[in-house]
Chain A
């Protein structure tokens, strides 16, 4: 009754080409954005002020759930462009995210390289010499990280012209393992520290502290300002929303149609004048750009410090692939739904099992929780693939169809 197109006419070509054909869709999206940008921050702030929620709970929500959700959505968007729209299966997502993270690190510290020379006493002196001025603006860093990653992505995408299907999937594993190896063996990447850990330097945006802390004099006293969880959340949210719009408009335009033509049948696409190499490489570039931004976001906002080999191992690649499949291949909405599903299920299980054990007085060890979590995760994925192989996006579509007829299905 409320969700139908009756009475909505498109009186110009521009309107006919609009992203949201239905007024309800448009309002729905504005509503979601309103909730994400305003209701959540203000609501949580009021809850904490009103004493209804502990400040630590609020920070937990932001730092452990919302940020992770946004990072994963970004990565899923990227992989969905490559796998869902262009049909190239990639198992190297985590590797590309890692490239983004390390690129962000190198740019933020000024691309140090080690200069070793012997001093007058004949002793070996090594010092870090910056090649570029350090950048402390997280937005610029994310863009740079994306750019670097898309170059790497194109290099590893080159074989895709010859190799197809699962052969390509295994070939992208080469990217995954090679890149992760670099993260722990190429010393230049992590500024030669022995633990091969990278740490985010202090950053500011529009005068707000984003990472690290800042000590200022206020009323004659030294006050240390720590970054507010809201700041990180809003920066990430704005980035993800921006790139989601970019992706949406890309896939419904000429570029996206070329990708889909390649996906559906590459020889036929070639016959209608689409150049496979350029199109596939563009998909690799754009997808890697997104993954790189996601990696930079993961590093700067979510983790703060990380060890490349651990943070970007192959399970992360699979997790992102799961998000894309469970969300729905070839759907921007699906990327978000899938990311939410895959991110929230483990968090839920980690909290749920110790609680359940507590109810029955059975102590549940962390190892057992981890095992049970993996088992349920694996089983859920299989069940989901059997029940709805086209993903959450398809369920959403079915729901919308039902809603059109509701409550008079005749």
Chain B
């Protein structure tokens, strides 16, 4: 086999040692689960308010900072989690009161820029209160790993997978079975129609932002337990963006499947091609993958088909 083919097939060739290959696949999929969690919060807000919420990544950091901060103050973990949820709900109310209601009917790009402003504000605010050093976040997830069939799996990764599955189930029940969930879906379908049947848009926005905040808390806890709570968390969360364009902005299953594809793809690419080109291709591989994919399917995997009329 020539050198060229060795390079092209590098991500496949790592399966020569199938245990190593499986480890790469599993760690890729679990990184993907984390991306999905961030993307999930984003999709919720986009569906309910048409807002391309760039601050979702920072929201993850902010939630994790709060949780780590509360635990650092000596508050017991369950109480600290409740407190953080309280902070996220309060945050949702403040955002609605100070920002969203003033930006109704603005163009999408204006909303988008406002969320970037919010991201700037929130990350600096969190660090002003809790300090900018790296914090350990220990919420009692067991450390260590076990090795079925010689494949090393971290307990943390397993827990993350289980928590994500549970979260998605709870959200699915919330959306499909409760009255609020039905109202949320109505708003996502058509703002005007939802208003006309008596759904209060502002309440819905608060609920959606609070739910995204709680999803961000889950994501932040997982990331934080893995690599400590620090500013780079919000940059890792930027990876949720290619996940979104892969899965489609409006689709929750899209966010999950997109996350898995991106996580797996970039891990395989990094392990396979990274050594040939100097490493760290994880930084951009997801974006290029998503971009190439978009050329063939511009609305993402599960996005609503864009129908254009003059």
Contacts and interface: CB of A to CB of B under 8 A. Distances in A.
Interface of A: 89, 159, 162-167, 169-171, 173-174, 177-178, 180-181, 185-186, 265, 267-268, 271, 314, 318, 321-322, 325, 329, 367-368, 370-375, 377-382, 385-386, 389
Interface stretch (B65-73, B123-131, B152-160, B209-217): B123-131
Contact of A386 (B103, B119, B249, B308): B103
A314 B57 CA distance: 14
Contact of B110 (A367, A378, A389): A389
Nearest to B132: A367
Nearest to A318: B116
Nearest 10 A/B pairs, CB to CB: A378-B121, A378-B120, A174-B287, A381-B117, A374-B124, A177-B284, A178-B284, A185-B278, A382-B117, A371-B124
B286 to A, nearest CB: 9
B1 interface: no
A267 B310 contact: yes
B306 to A, nearest CB: 8
Nearest to B107: A389
12 contacts: A159-B291, A159-B295, A163-B298, A166-B52, A171-B287, A178-B288, A185-B280, A186-B278, A325-B110, A377-B117, A377-B120, A385-B113
Given A167-B300, A382-B98, A385-B114, 10 more contacts: A165-B108, A169-B112, A173-B242, A186-B278, A322-B116, A325-B110, A375-B120, A381-B114, A382-B118, A386-B114
A89 B108 CA distance: 11
A378 B124 contact: yes
Contact of A163 (B110, B117, B241, B294): B294
A165 B299 CA distance: 11
Contacts of B102: 386
A267 B109 contact: no
A89 B290 CA distance: 17
Contacts of B118: 378, 382
Interface residues of B, number: 52
Given A181-B283, A322-B113, A368-B128, A381 B294 contact: no
The majority secondary structure among interface residues of chain B is helix
A192 B245 CA distance: 36
Contact of B106 (A166, A171, A318, A389): A389
Contact of B103 (A159, A381, A385): A385
Given A166-B108, A167-B294, A178-B284, A371 B116 contact: no
Interface of B: 52, 98-99, 102-103, 106-110, 112-114, 116-125, 127-128, 132, 238, 241-242, 244-245, 249, 277-281, 283-284, 287-288, 290-291, 294-295, 298-300, 306, 308-310
B283 to A, nearest CB: 5
A321 B107 CA distance: 15
A170 B290 contact: yes
Contacts of A159: 291, 294-295
A271 B117 CA distance: 38
A94 B127 CA distance: 26
A267 B98 CA distance: 37
A371 B128 contact: yes
A325 B110 CA distance: 8
B113 A381 contact: yes
Contacts of B122: 378
Contacts of B288: 174, 178
B120 A381 contact: yes
A367 B244 CA distance: 34
Contacts of B132: 367, 371
Contacts of B114: 381-382, 385-386
